[in-house]
Structure 1
Amino acid sequence: MSKQRRTSRRMSNKKILAIIGFTLVSAAIGYAVFNSMIPTNRSFPVLGVPENTYLVTKHDSQNGYVFASKGTTSGKKSMGSMHIMPEIHVTQDQLGSIHMINEDTDSKHNLNIDEFNVHTKDLNYFETQTVTFVADKEGSFRYYCTIHPEMNGRLIVQ
């Protein structure tokens, strides 16, 4: 009978460790999810679906270093025309997300919109970063790269 008690105690210790491990992993995931819902210009989470914009950085032979947006044709997944230094339109008091990818093989790039505290890290070739913010001010705002000041465009909040 003493063997059965030892075996059941060992199982219960394993179960307790498993529960503690599961709880710690769940708490870490919950913390990461909670923090991912906090826009750059807020200190608390905002629930909602953001208006998404996709920007690519490139070195264009005619225009030099540029931000570009890719459009789709006829709703298909094939890439359509490229727009150089695109205007980004966001509705006032809505969440906006800008997804940026550096497709320039020669240089790092970043994205900044000072009025909304939007600042990405310096991205190497094919690195990407997404920033989410609340468009709480109406107007036209400049976005730019600090490494290449000629790279800029306008964020329009209406």
Structure 2
Amino acid sequence: MKKKEKRPYRMTRNKAIAYAALAAVVATIGYFSINATIPANGTAPVLSPPLNHFLKATHTSKGGYLYVTTSPGGAKGIRNTSGAIVNPTYTMSKGGLQTMHFINEDYDTHSAHNLNIDEFNVHTRDLGYFESQTVSFVTDKAGTFQYYCSIHPEMKGEIIIE
């Protein structure tokens, strides 16, 4: 029985192109993955898990334009008839990573809405009906801060950092 002769590995043009394309895809995924972990008021990635808060913009004929949440995590305020908290006050711990998941569910008027927390450099774009945006930030200051919609000044609430 004859031994199979080992052929030396040969890099062809097609293999080189495939490896280069694979390296470019991996580098792009890595770049966006690292940038996704940088909070709005930070310059370096934060790898700890955030506390999530869910907030939606809506409109009612009786209440006008409102922020509403159904997530109980740290939110307090007046509940409407459906059990959701209107213009909630959030209590958060200093030094924690927080994530605000914001969605425009203004079915009545289809108006644009945004979310702003100036002290933590949190500013979403103006979201059209059923658009959403997620913003992460570090609560690096203690105190009471206001969040608001720059389009509808009556939409506002508070964040208390302890």
The answer, yes or no, to whether TM exceeds 0.5 is: yes
- Secondary structure of 1:39's counterpart equals coil
Matches of 1:97 and 1:68, distance apart in 2: 16
Aligned to 1:156: 160
**Among 115, 118, 122, which residue is 1:114 paired with?**
118
Contact map agreement 1:71 1:81 (CA 8 A) in 2: no
- Secondary structure of 2:33's counterpart equals helix
Aligned to 1:90: 92
Structure richer in helix, relative to its length: 1
Residue identity (%): 47
Unaligned runs of 5+ in 1: 1-7, 73-79
Contact map agreement 2:53 2:71 (CA 8 A) in 1: no
Q: How does 1:52-71 map to 2 (within 5 A)?
A: 52-71=52-71
**How far 1:9 sits from its partner (Å)?**
10
Q: How does 1:138-157 map to 2 (within 5 A)?
A: 138-157=142-161
Aligned to 1:130: 134
**How far 1:10 sits from its partner (Å)?**
9.2
- What is the CA deviation profile of residues 114-143 of structure 1, one whole-angstrom value per residue up to 9, with x for unaligned ones? 000000000000000000000000111000
Q: How many residues get paired?
A: 144
**How far 1:71 sits from its partner (Å)?**
3.8
**How far 1:37 sits from its partner (Å)?**
0.6
Matches of 1:122 and 1:129, distance apart in 2: 10
- Normalising by structure 1, report the TM-score: 0.86
Aligned to 2:3: none
**How far 1:88 sits from its partner (Å)?**
1.6
Matches of 2:14 and 2:113, distance apart in 1: 50
- Secondary structure of 2:38's counterpart equals coil
- Secondary structure of 2:43's counterpart equals coil
- What is the CA deviation profile of residues 10-58 of structure 1, one whole-angstrom value per residue up to 9, with x for unaligned ones? 9722111111000000000000001101101011111111111000100
**How far 1:89 sits from its partner (Å)?**
2.0
**How far 1:70 sits from its partner (Å)?**
1.2
Q: CA RMSD in A?
A: 1.8
